[in-house]
Structure 1
Amino acid sequence: MTEAAPAPFTVDDYRSRMDRAARAAADAGLAGVLVAPGPDLVWLTGYRVPAETERLTLLVLVPGQDPELVVPALEAPDAARATGAPALRLRDWTDGVDPYGLTAPLLDARGRFAVSDNAWAMHLLGIQSRLPDSSYVSLSESLPMLRAVKDAAELDRLAAAGAAADAAYDEIRRLPFAGRRETEVAADLDALLRKFGHEQVDFTIVGSGPNGASPHHEAGERVIERGDMVVLDFGGLRHGYGSDTTRTVHVGEPTAEERRIHDVVREAQDAACRAVRPGIACQEVDRVARAVITEAGYGEYFIHRTGHGIGVTTHEPPYMIEGEEQPLVPGMCFSVEPGIYLPGRFGVRIEDIVTVTEDGGRRLNTTSHELALVN
């Protein structure tokens, strides 16, 4: 794909995100948000920590205070070059200095803080040792919708990532399958995603024959045979935003049963996508897909949630699952991916990314849902 790269996010974009996070914390009755290196830090500041390190890096967002980033001195120059850095106060520390003692004065000693899920226990316990009356909750549980509603620029990136994944699928189904190992097809998918602009490939599931009955099967050395159903689930990041799509293909002519099961999954996926609209609960999307599959007699073989959010990571809130009563809001993006898995035989899954619009939903994947026949 040769279209121009999207305009980069600005310091005002990052400032707005940090302000939003601090306000959300206050609204939730929290004293602030503590963000360790990872996708939350990238989304909030544009700063991607250059390498895994045991040294403390921590963004501190407290309502009514300027955002501060506690960062090792040897990494401070990289942090200062991040797009969102002008909206931050950098507080660097050198080896031999107690970083927890440096961080503690920034926090309410008796406060309850949301902490990004990937924070190291060592660092959280270090801070708590300096503030024994403080307490902590996970960011995904306390502020699950923080990254869930995408703005126009984020939606453009997600749409472009989806189009790139679609282009990869259009090419992979024209390549030979029979007589090749799953790992070979997975390598082709990886190369195609990169060809169409992905800077990072997160997964290339190729589940042939009985392996397709395992939803998260890792591509292995099984040789794909004529007569196999093959589940292809692949995605990664393009311009920092995720793709994730699944199509199920068949090597040669399928049986009547294989066609029927594929049709059931296709109908369930289509019904769930058509159900998307503002105001309905996330669980309703799951219920709609599950009802179609259950009515067809395969309910016990649909063994996972119907969908997950997507953004700067390929799995994030919201989740389309029973019990999730969060209402859909325009700008939310998530997968719709029902499946049927017959142990020891084969599996079928169809997945699109869908974004909630003002009056319904829009698919970000547009390749055919028909059962594609491959060689």
Structure 2
Amino acid sequence: MSAVPFTRDDYAARMARVVADGHAAGVDGVLVTPGPDLVWLTGYQPTAITERLTMLFLTTDREPTLLVPTLERPDAERADGTAATTVVDWLDGADPYAAASGLLRPDGRYAISDSAWAMHLLGLQTALPRTAYDSVTARLPMLRAVKDANELARLEAAGAAADATYEQILDVRFSGRTETDVAADLADLLRQHGHEQVDFTVVGSGPNGANPHHEAGDRTIEVGDCVVLDFGGLMDGYGSDTSRTVCVGEPTDQIREVHEVVRLAQQAGVDAVRPGVACQDVDRAARQVIADAGYGERFIHRTGHGIGVTTHEPPYMIEGEELPLVPGMCFSVEPGVYLPGSFGVRIEDIVTVTEDGGRRLNNTDRHLRVVA
């Protein structure tokens, strides 16, 4: 079944919420440049992110306003959410920062997209030297973190498609083929199950599995290898991301031991999810299991990251992140153990916070599976 389209009212509500959250965070407005925040707020994604200034102004003193180059105005006005904005343009050869400065207070403080080009921020500062700017993440770290029902449905569908991909990859031959061969199979299966975009297909065999972000290479997978599979992308505009670790042929006792430690750690992380708990407590719960088993120094990354219109976004499950979990948040729980020169193990599910706990959006078997 196709995803339910977002409406003008959906986008208008998001913009109103950002203005209110920005005011509560002590800024006069939020300035959004091309990237995931602009897509989430308006549905508009320029065909190319260029040096020409495009910026959404969400301020306390005016209606939402989208400033675009004149030549891109027709495309901007076709986006579903821009109907909830006033679209204004600037012509090539004119000063875009002069146009932008008319939409800002001369002494205002604004949150601006983390991905804004430096030339645009500097242009604003030159045009309005008494203005001040903070990154959106610093002021509004949970900007897109809490998903509505439509967003949750898309994430759940993407997770189910990733699960179906995993179930099918178990029937593919691993031994005697290269990592890139298996990665290509994963990408094909994700597309077959509805993904319009494949973002990553990690296939880390043997010692390559000890590198969490190993790029699939030309290593030939051998019988006895432990293989980390981590794959995902976008489906109906929302992300999937799951990891499982398999063994080619009969696993050694060490592989079985480490895999079980990681499985129990992942379960502990999921069990820690409930409203009001700090993000860092999810990390602590998973990390404690691995530390108690003697592998603490071999868990070398955070336990999780948020997911939505991108596959990595706030919130982050890491020590020091004290923001509380809220129903509707979605993030990965993905502890791992990495033994350099030998193998690695990672198990990952996307989890959403419910009113009384957490719910997995990935539901394939987490026990060690043997492949051919």
1:136-182 deviations in Å (ceiling 9; x for gaps): 11111210111000001100000000000000001111100001110
1:226-278 deviations in Å (ceiling 9; x for gaps): 10000000000000000000000000000111101000000000111011100
Shift of 1:26: 0.4
The residue that corresponds to 1:183 in the other structure is 180
- Give the whole-Å Cα distance in 1 for the aligned partners of 2:351 and 2:251: 29
The residue that corresponds to 2:64 in the other structure is 67
SS in structure 1 opposite 2:362?
Answer: coil
Question: Over the residues paired in the alignment, what is the CA RMSD in angstroms?
Answer: 0.6
The residue that corresponds to 1:224 in the other structure is 221
Identity %: 68
The residue that corresponds to 2:161 in the other structure is 164
The residue that corresponds to 2:143 in the other structure is 146
The residue that corresponds to 2:94 in the other structure is 97
- Give the whole-Å Cα distance in 2 for the aligned partners of 1:373 and 1:110: 63
Say whether 1:40 aligns with 2:37.
Answer: yes
1:271-325 deviations in Å (ceiling 9; x for gaps): 1101110011000000000000000000000000000000000000100000000
The residue that corresponds to 2:301 in the other structure is 304
Where in structure 2 are the equivalents of 1:236-315 lying within 5 Å? 236-315=233-312
- Give the whole-Å Cα distance in 2 for the aligned partners of 1:140 and 1:192: 34
Query: One-letter code of the match for 1:203?
Result: F
SS in structure 1 opposite 2:80?
Answer: coil
- Give the whole-Å Cα distance in 2 for the aligned partners of 1:146 and 1:212: 34
Shift of 1:64: 3.4
- Give the whole-Å Cα distance in 2 for the aligned partners of 1:287 and 1:109: 45
The residue that corresponds to 1:78 in the other structure is 75
SS in structure 1 opposite 2:213?
Answer: coil
The residue that corresponds to 1:318 in the other structure is 315
Query: One-letter code of the match for 2:198?
Result: V
SS in structure 2 opposite 1:29?
Answer: coil
Query: One-letter code of the match for 1:113?
Result: Y
Gap regions ≥5 residues in structure 1: none
The residue that corresponds to 2:362 in the other structure is 365
- Give the whole-Å Cα distance in 1 for the aligned partners of 2:350 and 2:250: 28
- Give the whole-Å Cα distance in 2 for the aligned partners of 1:142 and 1:244: 27
The residue that corresponds to 1:342 in the other structure is 339
- Give the whole-Å Cα distance in 2 for the aligned partners of 1:165 and 1:276: 22
The residue that corresponds to 1:127 in the other structure is 124
SS in structure 2 opposite 1:153?
Answer: helix
SS in structure 1 opposite 2:204?
Answer: strand
Shift of 1:92: 0.7
SS in structure 2 opposite 1:317?
Answer: strand
* Residue number among 211, 214, 222 corresponding to 1:214 in the alignment: 211
SS in structure 2 opposite 1:25?
Answer: helix
Shift of 1:86: 1.4
- Give the whole-Å Cα distance in 1 for the aligned partners of 2:133 and 2:199: 30
SS in structure 2 opposite 1:79?
Answer: helix
- Give the whole-Å Cα distance in 2 for the aligned partners of 1:112 and 1:193: 43
Shift of 1:31: 1.1
- Give the whole-Å Cα distance in 1 for the aligned partners of 2:61 and 2:314: 27
The residue that corresponds to 1:197 in the other structure is 194
SS in structure 1 opposite 2:325?
Answer: coil
Shift of 1:52: 2.5
Query: One-letter code of the match for 2:351?
Result: V
Shift of 1:51: 1.4
Query: One-letter code of the match for 2:242?
Result: T
Gap regions ≥5 residues in structure 2: none
- Give the whole-Å Cα distance in 1 for the aligned partners of 2:265 and 2:94: 58
